[in-house]
Chain A
Amino acid sequence: MSSLSDIGNLMHLYLDEIDPDVGTDAPEFLIKATAHLLNQNGKRNWIPVIVKEIDEDKYKVVGNSFIYAVAEEAGLDRVWCIIADDSDETTEITKVLAGEEIPKINLSKASRDEIMAALQYLIEQPGSLLKTVKLPLATNRIDEAPRQYWKTFDPITSLKCGITKGKKLDALKQVFYLTPQPMPDTITDIAILKTMTTADLKKIAKKRGIAGLSKMKKDDLIEALSGG
């Protein structure tokens, strides 16, 4: 079977056999002007569209959807394509390689350098919502926070590095994801305890057999847990 597979091949496919999937968000000017240039310069798309086979003679774009749009605009019958396999991982890496999606890094484990590079990328985007964020400050404070336990990005808003809840915090989700470790029940570090919710603190306190929980406020809980 594998010898009959087209995966990895460069093929000249009919445009109407290809489903563009989500399509490109490139501006009209780029598409039209590129199509014009393509028609003048030999009508061959030297950079192929990346597609996967979904059925016999049926394909779906996984990368370089801009080139698909240009070929369509240029009125080509066929377009040069490379056939990729149909795994989700392949689709993901292809979109990232094609520059169509932003790669994400794991904030739970990322190194300081990785965090800094990711934040710098976000800050330097044209019209960035994070324009006012000071890169060294944000890098230090996020790097030093107990991010391995974060279940959400919300604790970042209390680090006082200019990233507030709402659009700014959401912008971080373009480049980061989290794979939190479970919080050890034995934790006594005040800085870490402070980042937790009262409900979570109560759970830990219960496990440790601390009495009088129902009347305790967050500060009382932190004191009890850090002392024990």
Chain B
Amino acid sequence: MTAISLRSALQSLPENAQEPIVDQLFATQLLRALGFQSGEIHPEYNTGDGKSVDKAARKTIGDDIFLYTKSNPHLLLELKGRDINLSEDAAQYQKTVNQLKGYLLGPNCKTAQWGIITNSCHIQLFRKHGRVIYPATQCLSIDPENVDQVIASIRKKIERPTKALTIAVYNNKGGVGKTTTTVNLAAILTFLGKKVLAIDFDPNQQDLTSSLGLSLSNSSVFQALTEKESDIKSAVCHYTFPLKKLKSELRFDVLPADQELADAPENLLRNRLKRHTLYRKLELARQEYDYILIDSPPNWRVFSQLAVYASDVVLIPTKHNNLFSLENAATAIKKFIPEVQAKKGDGSPVPLPIFFNGEKITPPQLAAAQQEINNLIKAAKKDGFNLMPYFYPRYTNARRDLHIPQIPSYANIASSAFSRTPAVYRDRAAHDYYKNLVKEYFLQ
């Protein structure tokens, strides 16, 4: 019934229909097809901050009807007319995506998990996890022929959201603090009540495993990854930190580094591990955990590729005083991550804005780092790539805001590896720095 009307709605639209016409003839049918009834859709929904999004929707829960209570929206829809080009390389596309992101982060939309942009020619679904917004589909073109199928696939995703956000911590350069970042993020997210799985996917260095004082896995991870019937769950171990005063403990799960993976020659690994292996093996974990963090090696070989493929977002630590770490971040954003996106086909993974990890930054050093970043941005622009949002996330046309988040590293953070305890559990300042990082990047 609804399927037919969606197709005919699309057929009835004039070729250059503007927004009010798309709204009247298409938007309601679309939301119906996504499973929302009339009392479950609110037009011109106030997202807070005095802005309003074209449509917001939520299923009725008991006698809490969204149209009346206007509370806890689940999905936001930003509509455009057909005169606005929403194909992925258009300038208006980026503008519309940013508009949707602004709405999703509005004070009234904390519960929103999904966002859609469409002009009835293109449609794209975005997932919101805490503060992170990433594509859940590519920007898909729709026509009367494929519309039913496309909308059905979107509906399927909306009805079965994955619980976890999977984060690959990656930089091609070594020594920028990937492992430190992974361990401390896992620890602080656990402290904040989240269920976390940390994966040591750098079998040659094994730093994450040893910094937590856990023992290496002896081929069980290797088997879990390479055998069809095996599940990674069997290879997971736990890191616990006792809270003596409260007579309880903090605990997160760790998939340790595997000796056999380290010993295996690259060509054997290539024979056994496909680019989607880790992604597939994490399928159950994605419904069990709130966060899955993957520590990856400082190169672009098999383990990093699997880690990035498995992730929704890629977190790139850099050092302000290390040009290579900045160059490599740019390369990952321009080249490696888009390669993976093309293979994976659902729009993810996307890079998160970089942050500086390391020694205290003096103003002249910051100016020098900014100079380097400006050069990188200029060079990328020549290739038609806009790095601005990844290096200067707060920069807009009207605001020259060049702030980059920082985590100062100091003796206490660095030495915590010796005590086999994450720094955030030992040091009050480290605790606050990482809490700040997760609040700025992940939690809403």
Note all chain A residues with C-beta closer than 8 A to B439: 112, 140
Nearest to B434 among chain A residues (CB) is A136
- Does B436 lie within 8 Å of A140, measured CB to CB? yes
A203 is an interface residue with CB less than 8 A from chain B: no
Q: Among residues 128 to 164 in chain A, which have CB atoms less than 8 Å away from a CB atom of chain B? A: 134, 136-137, 139-141
Note all chain B residues with C-beta closer than 8 A to A136: 432-433, 435-437
- Does A137 lie within 8 Å of B432, measured CB to CB? yes
A139–B437 Cα gap in the complex (Å)?
A: 12
Tell me, rounded to whole Å, the shortest Cβ–Cβ distance linking B180 to chain A: 16
Tell me, rounded to whole Å, the shortest Cβ–Cβ distance linking A158 to chain B: 15
Task: Please report the total number of A residues contacting B with Cβ < 8 Å.
Answer: 9
The tally of CB-CB contacts under 8 A between chains A and B is 20
A174 is an interface residue with CB less than 8 A from chain B: no
Q: Among residues 89 to 147 in chain A, which have CB atoms less than 8 Å away from a CB atom of chain B? A: 111-112, 120, 134, 136-137, 139-141
A120–B405 Cα gap in the complex (Å)?
A: 12
B429 is an interface residue with CB less than 8 A from chain A: yes
Nearest to A141 among chain B residues (CB) is B432
Note all chain A residues with C-beta closer than 8 A to B435: 136, 140
- Does B107 lie within 8 Å of A134, measured CB to CB? no
Tell me, rounded to whole Å, the shortest Cβ–Cβ distance linking B381 to chain A: 28
- Does A139 lie within 8 Å of B436, measured CB to CB? yes
A169–B126 Cα gap in the complex (Å)?
A: 43
Interface range, B side: under 10
> Considering residues B429, B433, B436, which has the most beta carbons from chain A within 10 angstroms of its beta carbon?
B436
- Does B107 lie within 8 Å of A137, measured CB to CB? no
Tell me, rounded to whole Å, the shortest Cβ–Cβ distance linking A98 to chain B: 18
> Considering residues B429, B432, B433, B439, which has the most beta carbons from chain A within 10 angstroms of its beta carbon?
B432
Note all chain B residues with C-beta closer than 8 A to A134: 429, 432
Note all chain A residues with C-beta closer than 8 A to B433: 136-137
Note all chain B residues with C-beta closer than 8 A to A139: 436
Q: Among residues 404 to 438 in chain B, which have CB atoms less than 8 Å away from a CB atom of chain A? A: 429, 432-433, 435-437
- Does A140 lie within 8 Å of B107, measured CB to CB? no
Note all chain B residues with C-beta closer than 8 A to A141: 432
A111–B107 Cα gap in the complex (Å)?
A: 9
A111–B436 Cα gap in the complex (Å)?
A: 14
Note all chain A residues with C-beta closer than 8 A to B403: 120
Nearest to B394 among chain A residues (CB) is A117
Note all chain B residues with C-beta closer than 8 A to A137: 429, 432-433, 436
Tell me, rounded to whole Å, the shortest Cβ–Cβ distance linking A131 to chain B: 11
A111–B403 Cα gap in the complex (Å)?
A: 19
A140–B437 Cα gap in the complex (Å)?
A: 11
Tell me, rounded to whole Å, the shortest Cβ–Cβ distance linking B405 to chain A: 9
A165–B433 Cα gap in the complex (Å)?
A: 24
Tell me, rounded to whole Å, the shortest Cβ–Cβ distance linking A134 to chain B: 7
A120–B439 Cα gap in the complex (Å)?
A: 16
A136–B432 Cα gap in the complex (Å)?
A: 6
Note all chain B residues with C-beta closer than 8 A to A140: 432, 435-436, 439
Nearest to A138 among chain B residues (CB) is B432
Note all chain A residues with C-beta closer than 8 A to B432: 134, 136-137, 140-141
Nearest to A136 among chain B residues (CB) is B436
Nearest to B435 among chain A residues (CB) is A140
Note all chain A residues with C-beta closer than 8 A to B429: 134, 137
Tell me, rounded to whole Å, the shortest Cβ–Cβ distance linking B417 to chain A: 22
Tell me, rounded to whole Å, the shortest Cβ–Cβ distance linking A190 to chain B: 13
A136–B429 Cα gap in the complex (Å)?
A: 9
Tell me, rounded to whole Å, the shortest Cβ–Cβ distance linking B413 to chain A: 13
Nearest to B436 among chain A residues (CB) is A136
Tell me, rounded to whole Å, the shortest Cβ–Cβ distance linking B357 to chain A: 13
7 closest cross-chain pairs (CB), A and B: A136-B436, A137-B432, A140-B432, A136-B433, A140-B435, A136-B432, A140-B436
Binding site for B on A (CB under 8 A): 111-112, 120, 134, 136-137, 139-141
Given contacts A136-B435, A137-B432, A137-B433, could you give 17 more A-B pairs where the C-beta distance is less than 8 Å?
A111-B107, A112-B439, A120-B403, A134-B429, A134-B432, A136-B432, A136-B433, A136-B436, A136-B437, A137-B429, A137-B436, A139-B436, A140-B432, A140-B435, A140-B436, A140-B439, A141-B432
Q: Show 20 residue pairs from A and B whose CB-CB distance is below 8 angstroms, ordered by the A residue.
A: A111-B107, A112-B439, A120-B403, A134-B429, A134-B432, A136-B432, A136-B433, A136-B435, A136-B436, A136-B437, A137-B429, A137-B432, A137-B433, A137-B436, A139-B436, A140-B432, A140-B435, A140-B436, A140-B439, A141-B432
